[in-house]
Amino acid sequence: MSTPARRRLMRDFKKLQEDPPAGVSGAPTEDNILIWNAVIFGPHDTPFEDGTFKLTIRFTEDYPNKPPAVRFVSKMFHPNVYADGGICLDILQNRWSPTYDVSAILTSIQSLLDEPNPNSPANSLAAQLYQQNKREYEKKVSAIVEESWMNE
Amino acid sequence: MKVTIQKWIGVASWKWQVNDDNCGICRMPFDSCCPECKLPGDDCTIVWGECSHCFHVHCILKWLQSQNYQDQTCPMCRQSWKFKTH
């Protein structure tokens, strides 16, 4: 079945393969193009370096007019990531634009890792440590970086 | 010498005059149509906003309809969307 959302996702996938952005990858699941698995590699020179963070992206038939639901599957410790992996990022909510694609979504989340927005905390401990105790923050982040290599 | 034309076949080509190759919403080429249509041309035209960004008419209408009235912005520059008339 080909719908506008599915056709757009095929183009997103083609673009991701032909012009892959550094440090992110993603692909639709085998039996449902509306559900994708993705990986974001922790950016260099950040506490997240060397982490391999897995995510799921769930689209609806309203894509690209409505944003997908993006969630970390790997454990995350970040001011803007909820305990269930949900991400608080304006472009995935009220600042969504139908010109975004999977590549833009993944690179935005990748840059969010090292540029948290402590004003809209989803994890209050992470937000507090980020602002008041960088050392402890970085320790907590290294723990989830190491955890990201397990449960393959 | 007298030439009698017995038959002729006219062929014309056309192209949209746009800055971009693809519609930013559906990512289909402007010379093709939006994903809902079968044929490019008058049935699936391109429209411009006053901000000068352009999209397939069906793509921008679907976006505007999915937004509240006060949030009807250009997907490219977020300025309030107004169709350019000329």
pLDDT tens column, A77-87 = 999 999 999 99
Number of folded domains in chain B? 1
Residue A146 has pLDDT above 80, yes or no: yes
Q: What domains, with CATH codes, occur in chain A?
A: 4-150 (3.10.110.10)
pLDDT recorded at residue A101: 97
% of chain A at pLDDT higher than 90: 93
Range of the domain at B22: 16-86
Quick: pLDDT tens for A19-57.
999 999 999 999 999 999 999 999 999 999 999 999 999
pLDDT recorded at residue B15: 82
Give mean pLDDT, residues A68-72.
97
> Token digits for B69?
């009235």
Q: Is residue B9 part of a domain?
A: no
**Beta-carbon pairs below 8 A across chains A and B:** 35
Q: Is residue B7 part of a domain?
A: no
CA distance B72 to B82: 9
Closest of A28, A62, A68, A43 to residue A141, by C-alpha: A43
Q: Is A7 on the interface with B (CB under 8 A)?
A: yes
Q: Checking DSSP bridges between strand B54-56 and strand B46-48, what pairing results, if any?
A: antiparallel
Q: Is residue B82 part of a domain?
A: yes
**Residue B51 maps to which CATH number?**
3.30.40.10
Q: Which of A33, A97, A100, A103 to mutate to test the interface with B (most CBs of B within 10 A)?
A: A97
Quick: pLDDT tens for B15-66.
888 888 899 999 999 988 999 998 888 889 999 999 999 999 999 999 999 9
pLDDT recorded at residue B42: 83
Q: Which residue has the tokens 């520059």?
A: B77
Q: Is residue B11 part of a domain?
A: no
**In chain A, which ranges are E strands?**
24-29, 32-41, 52-58, 69-72
Q: How confident is the model at residue B70 (pLDDT cuts 50, 70, 90)?
A: confident
pLDDT recorded at residue A152: 56
pLDDT recorded at residue B43: 87
Give mean pLDDT, residues B69-76.
90
> Does this model's pTM top 0.95?
no
CB B61 within 8 A of CB A4: no
pLDDT recorded at residue A1: 67
Q: Is residue B20 part of a domain?
A: yes
A92: left (phi over 0), alpha (psi -120 to 50) or beta: alpha
pLDDT recorded at residue B20: 84
Q: Is residue B3 part of a domain?
A: no
3-state secondary structure of A125: helix
A151: left (phi over 0), alpha (psi -120 to 50) or beta: left
pLDDT recorded at residue A151: 66
Q: Which residues of B touch A (CB under 8 A)?
A: 24-28, 34-36, 59, 62-63, 66, 75-76, 78
